[in-house]
Structure 1
Amino acid sequence: MDWTSFHDLTDIEGFEEWLNFTVSDLVQVASVARTLEGREVRILRIADPSTPGPKKKIWIEGGIHAREWISPAVTTYLMHQVAVSPEWRDILKVTEWYFVPVANPDGYAYSFSSPRARLWRKNRSKNGPSARCKGVDLNRNWNLKWGVGASGNPCSETFKGKEPFSEPETVGLGRAMQRVGDIDVFITFHSFGQTVLYPWGWTRDPPANVKQLSRLAKKFNEGVKAASGGRTEYEIGGSGPLYGLASGASDDWAYGALQVPFSYTIELPDTGSYGFLLPESEVSKVVVETNSGVNCMIGFLTNLGPCARNNRSKFLGFRG
């Protein structure tokens, strides 16, 4: 596995198994759903059993939209760094992590199947007898204010499904999150736009703890700017005000249904020049910068590392 190119689902699942084998004391792999086409939706839990709890719980979701290939790349890189990098060792002692590298395995596999399928967004559910309009937008299918800004047309890219939680992927992931319970930070990686979005998506009204959400989001931006030498910067704001109203997203459900205090959608680079077709030459830069941003967020939250609240030194040149 490398982070200089995009990898298909077979490569990613092989990497998950390799990580589980080589760092078996820290990594556990579980399947939480079986898709229509028979693929597993997998979660990797990373935690240090040698340190006592309670610990902050961090949930990282990648690949819910098939065409956004940079999302699984970032998620797998971050997963690898948390498990093996000395930069994360102190933080790992006080946290436990749940990674979903590819939340939409059927759609992701299909997007690799041919050039015509490259920009596929949804899963591959059958919407009635016709095969012409397959798929549900899994990020419009979560059960919170379901239906706002989403489509009821099965042919639409934003088709919300027949009902909330109609899809095995969202059902399995939702139940797994409920079992974990008391999640402190939820992040779902998307592309593109270079923004850190917090709830709500279904209204322009700000959430109750908007100041705290914005403050932690700024720490992500600080880490990214440090790793990029100031060349990369993210816009921060509410999903609804910045991107238009849309409900049924996983970050809103985590925040509203599970009461996760810090819930974000991070729209990865770029800002539109390449869009969903980010070239492979950009992968290594994006994964390193994003890892640094998340490290700064969680370091601030746990008061550890260069972004700790009691660390007054500048972290110029810090790379997570």
Structure 2
Amino acid sequence: MRGYINAFDVVVVFSILSLALALDHQPLEDPTLDPHHQSAKSYSGYKVIRADVPLAQVPMIEALEESLDVEVTARIPKGRMLTIDVLAAPEAESKVLQVLKYFDMEYEEIIHDLQDMIQEEIYEEIENFDLRSQHQMTWDNYHSFEVMHKYLQYLEEQYPHLITLIEIGKSSENRSLVVAQVSSGTNQPAIWIDGGLHAREWVSPTTALYIIRQLVEKYEQNEAMVTMFDWYILPIANPDGYEYTRHYDRMWRKTRSKHFGENSRCVGVDPNRNFEFKWLQGGSSSYPCSDVYAGPYASSEPETVAISEFLMERKDQLMVYLSFHSYTQVWLMPWAYISDLPKNLHDLEEVANASATAMKKHNNTEFTVGTVTKLMYKASGSSVDYAYGPVGIPFAYAIELRDLGQYGFLLPKNQILPTAVETFDGMKVLAREVYKKLPKYRKHSSSNAELITSEETTELGTASDETSPS
């Protein structure tokens, strides 16, 4: 395998891409496109190819994304190599293989036909549900935004002393951005969790909702977690994109904002490149059709504005920021825009490693801990950098949940609950470990700190015993 790049390599790759580049420069407006009458996008013939790539050659592969119907959907660290998953359209497959073969890279096809997997995954919305039930939420299926929202409303009605719903804004398509505040009412240091920032990562909203469920419906078992911290949880940070994946394009990643008119070919912004910190300084794109389009300007999206303002308003209370994503099973720390290490790296690693160890107990699911730039890629304008930088939250992480690529974004329904359970195990330990470090990061410890005994904090580290949804 060739581990270097010379000028001739660049010429070869450029020649492979030249035709695609010429075809790529199309107008953003398409007067024949009616966005209100769409059919679902088919991924028939799309393949996912996994390749082991020397770090020096990663830019060559990433160049394919700008010119072909190709996306690098995952980057998995492997020593001095990077294992990447490349989603390739039928017409792009041969060009991708040309580049891989030219550089003598090892590769394999891990998904032969993406549409076949999508067909297997298609949800069955419950129609004849028990009318006596006040919600339809379960953890053996992927549910609509409406079902998840109604579940939150149900919890607030049943447990008003524990949970309060806060609408922090509206999406581009006027869906509510609702944060669940779980609190004992004593204004403790706080933990923030968001899910679904990227639309196609379906397991992240369900996992965030499961954590709310455990804190509220299973409060007696998890009282210490709510006594030590207030929890602010936004299960679906990109509801428009999420609903779009359910009906039109399962692999959609971005928001659904229309900055170039109703008939634009290029819709939406990557919300995780749109935060107002080091915006568009690498690892993002200014091209509106790109999946990592950073937006016409920082904080152009109502979703990122709502999150940013909420975090900033509570900057003195927030101690932890967590953003759930999928996939690759990595626990990521700042920085994302630069390879510099965070100033409190040791504490960040201690908490992450302890939490990742807890997440392994149930199903032996292993997570790798490291900075975003070390384990994945550069990504400016990210939520984790915004939380850690301008807001000043000392423990800021992005967690890529299951799996390692066998199913990728199309994680089967039978893995929803195991993913949620192991993640909650990690949250127990995270709460305990951060709580122990509070005196170092706060001038005054919480007023009721003496209520939490060492026995109770030890109990936080025990694994959940739940094995089935309810």
TM-score normalised over the length of structure 2: 0.64
Corresponding position of 1:181: 315
Radius of gyration: which is bigger? 2
Corresponding position of 1:218: 353
Q: List aligned pairs for 1:1-320, cutoff 5 A.
A: 1-49=137-185, 52-53=186-187, 55-85=188-218, 86-114=220-248, 117-129=249-261, 130-147=263-280, 148-182=282-316, 183-228=318-363, 231-303=364-436, 311=458, 319=465
The size of the alignment, in residue pairs, is 311
CA 1:176–1:67 in structure 2 vs 1: closer, same or farther (change >3 Å)?
same
Q: Distance in 2 between matches of 1:87 and 1:223?
A: 17
How far off is 1:277 after superposition? Answer: 0.5
How far off is 1:225 after superposition? Answer: 1.6
Q: Distance in 2 between matches of 1:272 and 1:306?
A: 40
Range moving further from structure 2, 296-305 or 168-177: 296-305
Range moving further from structure 2, 64-73 or 91-100: 91-100
How far off is 1:306 after superposition? Answer: 9.1
Q: Are the aligned partners of 2:432 and 2:461 in contact in 1 as well (CA < 8 Å)?
A: no
Letter in 2 for 1:262: F
CA 1:40–1:215 in structure 2 vs 1: closer, same or farther (change >3 Å)?
same
Range moving further from structure 2, 293-302 or 151-160: 293-302
Q: Distance in 2 between matches of 1:5 and 1:73?
A: 9
The DSSP-based 3-state class of the residue aligned with 1:97 is strand
CA 1:153–1:307 in structure 2 vs 1: closer, same or farther (change >3 Å)?
farther
User: 1 or 2 for the larger relative contact order (CA 8 Å, sep ≥6)?
Assistant: 1
Letter in 2 for 1:201: A
Deviations 1:246-285 (A, max 9, x none): 1111111000011100000000010111110101011111
The DSSP-based 3-state class of the residue aligned with 2:322 is strand
Q: Distance in 2 between matches of 1:154 and 1:305?
A: 53
Q: Are the aligned partners of 2:359 and 2:423 in contact in 1 as well (CA < 8 Å)?
A: yes
Q: Distance in 2 between matches of 1:71 and 1:99?
A: 12
Deviations 1:117-164 (A, max 9, x none): 111000001131342110000000001111121000110000000111
Q: Are the aligned partners of 1:297 and 1:307 in contact in 2 as well (CA < 8 Å)?
A: no
State the identity as a percent.
34
Letter in 2 for 1:112: R
Q: Are the aligned partners of 1:296 and 1:307 in contact in 2 as well (CA < 8 Å)?
A: no
How far off is 1:286 after superposition? Answer: 0.5
Q: Distance in 2 between matches of 1:307 and 1:146?
A: 45
CA 1:319–1:198 in structure 2 vs 1: closer, same or farther (change >3 Å)?
farther
Q: Are the aligned partners of 1:227 and 1:317 in contact in 2 as well (CA < 8 Å)?
A: yes
Letter in 2 for 1:245: K
How far off is 1:46 after superposition? Answer: 0.7
CA 1:153–1:305 in structure 2 vs 1: closer, same or farther (change >3 Å)?
farther
In the alignment, structure 1 segments of 5+ residues that lack a partner are none
Q: Distance in 1 between matches of 2:372 and 2:456?
A: 27
Range moving further from structure 2, 87-96 or 273-282: 87-96
TM-score normalised over the length of structure 1: 0.92
Q: Distance in 2 between matches of 1:219 and 1:173?
A: 27
Letter in 2 for 1:41: L
Q: Distance in 1 between matches of 2:456 and 2:382?
A: 31
Q: Are the aligned partners of 2:421 and 2:464 in contact in 1 as well (CA < 8 Å)?
A: no
Q: Are the aligned partners of 1:301 and 1:308 in contact in 2 as well (CA < 8 Å)?
A: no
What is the Cα-based RMSD across aligned positions, in Å? 2.0
The DSSP-based 3-state class of the residue aligned with 1:200 is coil
How far off is 1:26 after superposition? Answer: 1.1
In the alignment, structure 2 segments of 5+ residues that lack a partner are 1-136, 437-451
Q: Distance in 2 between matches of 1:44 and 1:87?
A: 19
How far off is 1:6 after superposition? Answer: 0.9
Letter in 1 for 2:257: S
Deviations 1:219-256 (A, max 9, x none): 2112112232xx11100000011111111111110000
